[in-house]
Amino acid sequence: MNILIALVPALGWGLMPLVASKTGGKPANQIFGTGLGATIVGVLVLLVARPSLDIRTFLFALFCGAFWTIGQIGQFVSFRSIGVAKTMPISTGLQLVGNSLVGVMIFGDWPGASARIIGFVALLIVVLGVVLTSVNDQNDDTDRVALQNLVFLVVTTVGYWFYSAFPQIVPHANGQALFFPQMLGILLGAMIYALASGQIQIFAEKESWLGAVAGLFFGVAALAYIFSARENGVAPAFIYTQLSVVLATLGGVLFLKEKKTRREMVFTLLGLVLIVAGSVMTSFA
């Protein structure tokens, strides 16, 4: 049963980008829909669990949810420019590398020389995996677009880093109590993005509301991860979630019909193996 719980986040986070891409719309539609669906799950958890949370932690969780929106907007923009199959391995690698470095430099993770050697070797493996999934047989113009998108992903992934660091900043807060304000923060962040970018019309577009389905996938996955971490431990739960990048990447090729040459596909599969292997290795650091 614990393994089944651990697989739910991998399935939810792996299917979410596929569902969001299939429902269509602009990134503003997709992020609003995601926030809407995630908040629905958050409200249900609030009504059923009735957790208690002080106002300061509530507001901080709300703020962190809004930061997550920055990272997800980066993904949605990249889905349109280079596709899900190329975006997901790069984004996952950037998140893992960034989260690990933040943990080492700020929170004192990987104490001791042996832990740091294992950790940094694991990160090099992940980076190599990302490079392999990015192999491109197209012309130089496509390469320039990919480079620009990589820079964009690096900048927006900062939002994911802050969101992931939140549990270490408030280590004793109850996960279920934090869940609703985090999901609400995602919705508020999406609304702020739409207003700031002058895309108020997305609130009335059907793509935005259809996008709530992707948000439900995300919300259920995020909730399941809380239970998985409690039942299986944080490291095993995290390892299982890395299967999401495999599902999303292969789904982009098979389900969304994103084109890859045979050579690109071979390098992508090898890169995915290295990303998952490096992710697993970081848990032993």
Mean pLDDT for the stretch of residues 195-203: 96
Q: Using 50, 70 and 90 to split pLDDT, how confident is the model at 204?
A: very high
pLDDT for 108 equals: 86
The answer, as to whether pTM is greater than 0.75, is yes
Q: What is the pLDDT of residue 42?
A: 97
Residue 36 identity (one-letter amino acid): L
Contacts for 136 with CB less than 8 Å, ≥ 6 apart: 142, 143, 146, 264
For tokens 């907007």, name the residue.
73
d(CA 226, CA 221): 9
**Is the C-alpha dihedral spanning 23, 33, 179, 167 positive or negative?**
positive
Burial 51-71 (b: 16+ CB within 10 A, else e): eebeeebbebbbbbbbbbbbb
Q: How far is it, in rounded angstroms, from Cα 166 to Cα 169?
A: 5
Show Cβ contacts of residue 107 under 8 Å, excluding neighbours closer than 6 positions: 165, 168
Q: How far apart are CA 45 and CA 88, in angstroms?
A: 28
The DSSP secondary-structure symbol of 110 reads: S
Q: What is the pLDDT of residues 18-36, one digit of tens each?
A: 999 999 999 999 999 999 9
User: DSSP states of 183-209 as a string?
Assistant: HHHHHHHHHHHHHHTT-GGGGG-HHHH
Q: What average pLDDT does the structure give for the chain?
A: 90
Give the pLDDT mean for 135-142: 67
- For 85-120, how does the pLDDT look when each residue is reduced to its tens digit (9 = 90+)? 999 999 999 999 998 998 888 888 898 899 999 999
The tokens describing 90, both together, are: 């790069």
Task: Sort 73 into a burial class: Cβ within 10 Å, 0-12 / 13-18 / 19+.
Answer: buried
Length in residues, the chain = 285
Q: Which two tokens stand for residue 87?
A: 């975006």
- What is the average per-residue pLDDT within 152-179? 85
Which has the closest alpha carbon to 215: 5, 7, 41? 41
Nearest to 153 by CA among 254, 76, 240, 237: 76
Checking if the pLDDT of 203 tops 70, the result is: yes
